[in-house]
Chains A and B, each alone.
Chain A
Amino acid sequence: MTPVPIPAGRVKTLKIDGRDVSGYENQTILEIARENNIHIPTLCNLEGLDDIGACRLCLVEIKGLARLLPACVTRVQEGMEVLTDTERLRRHRRMVIELLLSERNHVCAVCVSNGHCELQSLAQTLGVNHVHVPYRYPRMAVDATHGRFGVDHNRCILCTRCVRVCDQIEGAHTWDVAGRGVEAMIISDLKQDWGASATCTSCGKCVQVCPTGALFVKGKAVGEMTKQREFLPYLTLMREGEK
């Protein structure tokens, strides 16, 4: 007996939090969850940019699997049973937020992004009202050499959205990461002042995708820095059309 031919772009059915859902085999758990209004917290993920699975907020439990997998880069499989909101996951997510808050100097009261910050709102929704881990209070610099924008490393959480949008959408690759571990830093060009960058096109995409107040438009006072990112899915679609 010849096996039934398999069509391209197969559809898989799976369960997320007990609900039966379906998706194409090249879709991720996160995409399917969003289609079905199941909320999984994310931070380094941004629609239109490649996912890197770095913030670990979107980790989910999969039945029969001991380790946790990031929903943003894990593709769906037939019969998968995904749990997105267990006590263990909530505990780990709160700790991720605590780690980020303690890593550098996140002082909301004097931050340009106060009230519009993804880290801040995640801390609120995940119920982080206290940081148990010791604060590091490192001395971090602010680079205000660029004419229109500034980067405040005190607020940076190293999600690398700016690095990716600059490389993948703008095509300039001004930003990158230097250093290891907790000493890692976002740098422009070869660790030069942003204002002296020969590659920066001053497009401002990095500023708009930054989840916190690390990248900002100059002249904004506390809480005034709101970000516009509607452009991103369109630009991504256009780039895909070029291929």
Chain B
Amino acid sequence: MTPEELHELAQAHLEADKKLSHCLFVCGAAACLAARSDAVIEAFQAAVKARGLEESVAVKNAGCMGLCALGPLVRVEPAGVLYQQVTPEDAGAILDGLGGPPVERLVCPTDVPFYQRQFNIVLENSGHIDSESLDDYVARGGYAALAKALTAMTPGQVVDEVTTSGLRGRGGGGYRTGLKWSTVAKAPGQKKYVICNADEGDPGAFMDRSVLESDPHRVLEGMAIAAYAVGANEGYIYVRAEYPLAIKRLADAIRKAQRAGVLGNAIMGTTFSFQVDLRLGAGAFVCGEETALISSIEGKRGTPRPRPPYPAEFGLWGRPTLINNVETFANVPAIVRNGGHWFASIGTEKSAGTKVFALAGRVVNTGLIEVPMGITLREIIYDIGGGIPEGRKFKAVQTGGPSGGCIPQQYLDMPVDYESLAQVGSIMGSGGMIVMDETSCMVDVARFFMDFCRTESCGRCVPCRVGTTHMHTLLTRITDGSATLDDLALLEELCEMVKQTSLCGLGQTAPNPVISTLRYFRDEYLAHIVEKRCPAGVCRMTRAPKEVAV
């Protein structure tokens, strides 16, 4: 398919859509699917057929619409009405009400901060297209950025555009994407690879899954542009096997894109070729680390190796390799389409663009949000998130998963960007955001994350393998009431040692939840150790010494 044909396809699809009086988008992403949105889709399709509306009403299996807590969600276009908690029985009522006033009892208001305060780049198509349709994606400007890059830009110009945009790695590290691309582009070698890291493993995080399920072509387009920019013609998407729907949609999207000639050999009639393959992760958190991921793709045990040399120089099968996260690639088409300066104008000076967060925990509106960088935590939690349910008090927000930290009340007005989060002892991470209220015990939280790191350590280097195990033992002692102040001192010593001496990012960041809770909630640790009580009433203190009568 040439760029002209692509444009024609988009126009034809738009024309066809105009003939419809209404389009129903039913969320078919994992959260709504778990609330049986598949039955809702079937009910709508049956109801449309029963009413003979096939010509004028389309029912589409769309992607995530954000408010996962109130699923299944259904959007009716062009009216722009959003319905929440739709059951198959509601299908008839909604269809009968088309053209008239919406069905009041199901309406989900969209003029609320949850929707108004968001800014969508990565999620711009999410919930607005049929996730399994290439035509829908193309009709909304999909693959136009790839066409522009291939026909009107040199690889160097693409790299420059990404550098100008100020885009930084969305997987957690925040490394400058433009710099990474130019390093791989400059690395000597005929054969290079592009890898998309979709091994999202942080507890409570589901950004990448939603993007892959809702808009898989977007990631493929981003990867193809990256491959053109760095001079690669083979790529892999390393996606965890726990995401069956994302895998199914990706495999389907790759096949459709190849058939349409926007992926594969001689893309859009140019000399550029790019093949993409899927590799499934077998459920190891450490395989999100780039060198372990490469090792896993090569068919070896997924363990990290010391860097340098970095994958940009010596990566998959010893070749220069570009590894970016799903969300990073998903930003690329928009950057190429609208220009780097447009992207740089969003967010803050050092952290450009938007960030997708999976808002979870003790907050009214749990779900997927995309906000401009620089927004405050208070805006995210209280405006978008709707605050803490049941009138409880906010205690802390955990960002960055097991590598991140807990941020207390006093930093709620801090802007969300890479530097600010690092300053208060947390990290941006991949975008997990867990809100905790007064019923959470911070020692217990630290113990949970340490248990996670302990079981996910690959066992290669000593500090991470044994250090995390001991730290977990010490935290368990604190939560069961058997700890002494010496244990606390040893815990702090281990935190420093494991952080400084571990081989890869997993071990180097594993102490972060402990360090940050010790920094802001030391009184809770002391209450457990000295007074043998848990202020939040979570820990059972089963092994606390019995009072000895004097």
Contact = CB atoms under 8 A, between A and B. Distances in A.
Interface of A: 52-56, 59, 67-68, 70, 73-74, 88, 91-92, 95-96, 99-100, 102-103, 132-134, 136, 157-158, 176-177, 179-184
B501 A182 contact: no
Contacts of B301: 176-177
A99 B459 contact: no
A136 B454 CA distance: 14
Nearest to A57: B462
Given A55-B461, A96-B462, A70 B467 contact: no
B501 A68 contact: yes
Nearest to A133: B470
29 contacts: A52-B305, A53-B305, A53-B306, A53-B503, A54-B503, A55-B462, A56-B461, A56-B501, A56-B502, A67-B500, A70-B503, A88-B500, A92-B497, A96-B462, A96-B463, A100-B462, A102-B466, A133-B470, A133-B494, A134-B474, A136-B469, A157-B462, A158-B465, A179-B459, A180-B284, A180-B455, A181-B465, A182-B454, A182-B465
A133 B490 contact: yes
| Interface size of B as a range | 20 to 34
Given A92-B500, A133-B494, A182-B457, 18 more contacts: A53-B503, A54-B460, A54-B462, A56-B463, A56-B503, A68-B501, A91-B497, A95-B493, A96-B462, A96-B501, A102-B466, A103-B469, A132-B490, A134-B474, A136-B469, A177-B459, A180-B455, A181-B456
B84 interface: no
Contacts of A70: 306, 503
B87 interface: no
Contacts of A55: 461-462
A134 B461 contact: no
Interface string B288-312: 0000000000000100011000000
Interface in B443-467: 454-467
Secondary structure type dominating chain B contacts: helix
Contact of A182 (B284, B459, B461, B474): B459
B501 A180 contact: no
A158 B463 CA distance: 12
B331 interface: no
A131 B209 CA distance: 45
Contact of A184 (B456, B459, B474): B459
B62 to A, nearest CB: 38
B459 A103 contact: no
A54 B469 CA distance: 17
B427 to A, nearest CB: 16
A59 B470 CA distance: 21
B473 interface: yes
Q: Which 9 A-B pairs have the closest CB atoms?
A: A184-B459, A181-B457, A99-B466, A53-B306, A182-B469, A56-B501, A103-B466, A73-B306, A95-B497
Nearest to A132: B490
B468 interface: yes
Contacts of B469: 103, 136, 181-182
A20 B356 CA distance: 51
Contacts of A88: 500
A134 B482 CA distance: 13
A174 B365 CA distance: 54
A56 B456 CA distance: 19
Contacts of B500: 67-68, 88, 92
Contact of A59 (B305, B457, B465, B501): B501
B465 A184 contact: yes
A74 B469 CA distance: 28
A183 B474 CA distance: 18
Contacts of B467: 95, 99
A146 B64 CA distance: 57
A57 B306 CA distance: 14
Nearest to A93: B501
B250 to A, nearest CB: 27
B485 to A, nearest CB: 14
A70 B307 CA distance: 10
A55 B503 CA distance: 9
Nearest to B455: A181
Given A56-B503, A92-B500, A99-B470, A181 B459 contact: yes
B472 to A, nearest CB: 10
B462 A56 contact: yes
Nearest to A179: B459
A100 B462 CA distance: 7
Contacts of B284: 180
Nearest to B302: A180
A88 B500 CA distance: 10
Nearest to B470: A133
A74 B306 CA distance: 9
Contacts of B490: 132-133
Contact of A180 (B457, B466, B470): B457
Contacts of A183: 459
